[in-house]
Every structure is written in C-alpha cells, then in structure tokens.
Amino acid sequence: MGVDPGISGAAPADHSDEVAALVDEYAKIPPGQQVRLAKPTSNLFRFRDSATTGLDVGRLNRVLSVDPETRTAQVQGMATYETVVDAHLPTGHMPLVIPQLKTITLGGAVAGLGIEAASFRSGLPHESVREMEILTGSGEVVLARPDNEHADLFRGFPNSYGTLGYALRLEVEVERTEPFVRLRHIRFSTAEECAAAIEQICRDRAFEGHRVDFVDGTVFAADEQYLTVGTYVAEAPATSDYTGQRIYYRSLREHQTDHLRTHDYLWRWDTDWFWCSRAFGVQHPAVRKVWPRRYRRSDVYRRIVAWDRKAGLSDRLARRRGAAGSEPVIQDVEIPVRRLPEFLEFFHREIGIEPIWLCPVRLRDPQGWSLYPMDPDTLYVNVGFWSAVDTRPGDAPGKYNRAIEDVVGELDGHKSLYSDSFYEPEEFWRLYNRPAYDELKQRYDPDDRLPGLYEKCVGER
C-alpha cells in the first residue's frame, strides 16, 4: 500500500499528510472486513444498518486553492458544496455545476452523480473534473486523468458510489459568475408544450432573445408546469429572500420575473428541501416563525426522514388513513426530452406525487461515462420526485418504485442509484455495464475490500 509516485504536486503538504494518515488507517483494517466511509452527513436515501467498518475521511473537507487565471480549483473530496461555494463566490467564480443541496460533497457528486440548472450546458459535475486523486479498494492512491494509465478509473468512477475507491482530491474547472441571477417563470398548460420549450431553450441557449444560463422546471399538475430560466446579471433592481417567511417554489406561481443574489439562487432549493419541508409543517406560517433559520436546511430534514424510517411514523399515519402502509418514492430519473410527456402522463396516472422537478441535461463529454451510459447526442430531462405513496393490502414491496423502473427502461431513460432500487441482477447489470465494472473492480479492488455496486445499491435492501 502507498501513494502513487505519479501523484500531482498541486496539493499542499498538509493535504499530503492527511492522505498518508488515511492510507495508514486503511491498512490497519483487517483483511476480509469490508470498508465504507464514515461521514457526518449523507444525501443517500438507502437507510440500512451496516456491519462494515467506517473509514474516517472527514478531515478531507477543504477547498485547497482557487486559481482564477487557469479557472481551476483544487478541492478535497469531502468538501461540501456549501464550503465550495463560500470559497469560490468571493473570487467571482464557481464550479460549472453546483448540485442543489448544501451538504452534498464534491466527491459524492462525482461518485454518485449530481445535477442542476446549468446541466443543459455543462453536463454533470464529474464532466468538469480534470483529475482525481483516488484511494482505491486495494489501498493505493492513484491519480486518474482522462489521458493517463488510470483513464479507465477516471471514466468509470462516476456512478460507482464508493465501490471502487474514494476521491481524496479533485481538480475542477470553474467559471466566472455575476452577483445576481435574473429569473423568468414561464407557465405551460401541457407537457408537450413544456418539452418543446425545453428543447428550444437548450438548443439556442436563449429564450425570447435573452441569453439563458440556467434552466429547470416545476410541475404542479398535468395542466400546470413552469420552466424557470435564469441569466447572470451584474445588477438587480431588487432581490428576493426565500430563507425567511417566503417560500421559493410558491413564488413560481406568483411572479413572472424575479431576481436573486447568486448565492441565494444556488441554494434556493435547500431552505425547504425543494417543497418537502411541508411534510414537517415547516411551511405553516406559525411554525415557520418559530423554526430557527439555521434548521431550515436539507440535512436537518433528511435526519428527520431517517428517524421516521426507523420509527415507522409514516406507516402508522397511512394506516390511520385506511392504507396498508406507505412506500417511499424518492427518485431522480433521466428521460429523453421527446419522451417526457409519456413519462409524466404515466406518473400522474399511476403515482400521483406533486410537485415534480424537471432539469434538462446533456452530456458535455461526447465520449460518455462507462457506468452511466447516457447518449451524448440526446437531451435528457431529469425528473425528480420525493414523497411517499399509500399502499394497499397485498401490494408487493416496492410496487410503485418498480413500476417507475420499468417505464424508465421502456422510454430509454436512466435512473440514479442514490435511493432504493429493485432491479434483479441481470437487469441491473444490463443497464449499468457489468463488463466495464468487473474490469475496474478486478484492477482496483481485487480483494473486494469495498462493497460491490449491486450489493450496495440494490442487494442490501
């Protein structure tokens, strides 16, 4: 075990010391004992007990440098995007894609995918990574770049979910920002009209003659969907604040135009976890007045959900409503834009969760990524939905999630693996490229020190 002598010298000495300490810690874990990360926050929704050993990587949580001249940054893998934004915005820069929730880590977004309203032009977060320093399952630290001897790991690391190794340091591209974002909310009465507008805006990177830097959407009902287009601007007549009594997603119905500080735009969804805070009563005016602002955060709400999963409160409430229980339906799926109306029609009819989030994405890199094989020539729309559905007596476990998985496959879509999945092994590996994964596993974790991808994402359910 040790550090590859080809590792870049860009990282400071204290980072190198931290990496060396981590390698030593890994080496002390007994052979045959599987290893996972020990981290204070998580944005995964696979709430499972585990007997595996936790590797403490919490110390690797800093932005090491930001270089405006080369428009790059050196960031440790456990740095949260909240930390990343705080370090970058004062320089007038930020990474090309900032996922919506503050406690998502840069390493997590690369290993487990991420998306935001810039993804129609900048792809997924891992597509602006130039190199990764990775602690592999074999205990070695390697530098993975698209043009070196570890290019296979560079291409296969996205969607590997820590089953091949952990990103310790990443070099990422950054772009110039402006102090404000001007928003326009455009309503559409049909999914077909909305999908056509997404295609046009993403093709032209403009709407009604104005440049578009950000695009996402919100579906409130089959006849009420909004696209929000955002543009960087240097000045704003006034700015809105959605961290207090006002709630961002409700403003889409109330205003055609709006302005936010860039910092507030990046975290517009975090304060109320999109709209999911309503499940905890936080959106009621009386509750909101006494709920401290510091607790209006996605990580706080996720801890409440974790407690609920253990306590079974949602199931008990569902039974009081006459249901057999409740099934969490917390998923993000990528659907080709031209098939978006078909998916939404199915979803409204069979699932019934509202609102729904839309976020267009096109891969930035035409070579693609081996474990999440999206078509680089296709514009997709990420469809996000996060709630629960009442179940009936006799329903099979995962009935609604499984129905979604089936339809996503029929529509040539893809499903993120951060939450519950119900695929059988053969189907899973057909979708997520078993030959490529097996080659990577054999090279970088030949002794299976880390859990396998199917085991981690599906098999432990």
Model pTM above 0.85: yes
d(CA 439, CA 344): 37
Neighbouring-strand partners of residue 349: none
The two three-digit tokens of residue 34, written as one number: 């599987």
Catalogue the long-range contacts made by 15-20 (C-beta closer than 8 Å, 24 or more residues apart). Answer: 15/60, 15/62, 15/64, 15/76, 15/169, 18/59, 18/60, 19/60, 19/133, 19/135, 19/141, 19/168, 19/169
pLDDT for 9: 40
Query: What proportions of the chain, in percent to the nearest 5, are helix, strand and coil?
Result: 35, 25, 40
Looking at the DSSP assignment, which residues form a beta bridge with residue 169? 76, 133
Return per-residue pLDDT of the chain as tens, 461 residues.
443 333 344 566 799 999 999 999 999 998 888 887 776 666 565 555 554 557 888 889 999 999 999 999 999 999 999 999 999 999 999 999 999 999 999 999 999 999 999 999 999 999 999 999 999 999 999 999 999 999 999 999 999 999 999 999 999 999 999 999 999 999 999 999 999 999 999 999 999 999 999 999 999 999 999 999 999 999 999 999 999 999 999 999 999 999 999 999 999 999 999 999 998 899 999 999 999 999 999 889 888 887 877 777 777 776 777 777 889 999 999 999 999 999 999 999 999 999 999 999 999 999 999 999 999 999 999 999 999 999 999 999 999 999 999 999 999 999 999 989 999 999 999 999 999 999 999 999 999 999 999 999 998 55
Asked if the 2-177+440-459 domain carries CATH number 3.40.50.360, the reply is: no
Residue in 239, 129, 109, 127 with CA at minimum distance from that of residue 178: 239
Helix (H, G, I), strand (E, B) or coil at 99: coil
Residue 214, pLDDT score: 98
Work out the number of other CB atoms within 10 angstroms of the CB of residue 430: 12
**Any alpha helices (H) in 247-377, and if so which ranges?**
248-254, 262-266, 285-290, 298-311, 313-320, 340-350
Could you tell me the residue ranges of all domains in the chain? 2-177+440-459, 180-268, 312-422
Q: How many CB atoms lie within 10 A of CB 321?
A: 8
What per-residue confidence (pLDDT) applies to 120?
A: 98
Cβ atoms within 10 Å, residue 452: 17
| Domain 2-177+440-459 shares a fold with domain 312-422 | no
Which contiguous run of DSSP H or E holds residue 403? Answer: helix 399-410
pLDDT of residue 2: 41
- pLDDT at res. 452: 96
Contacts with 402 (C-beta within 8 Å, 6 or more apart), sequence order = 396, 422
Distance (Å, whole) CA 259 – CA 451: 45
**Which CATH number describes the domain made up of 312-422?**
3.30.70.2520
Residues 367, 194, 228: CA angle, nearest 5 degrees: 80
| 3-state secondary structure labels for all residues of 194-230 | HHHHHHHHHHHCEECCEECCEEEEEEEECCEEEEEEE
Which two structure tokens, joined as six digits, stand for 71? 């428009």
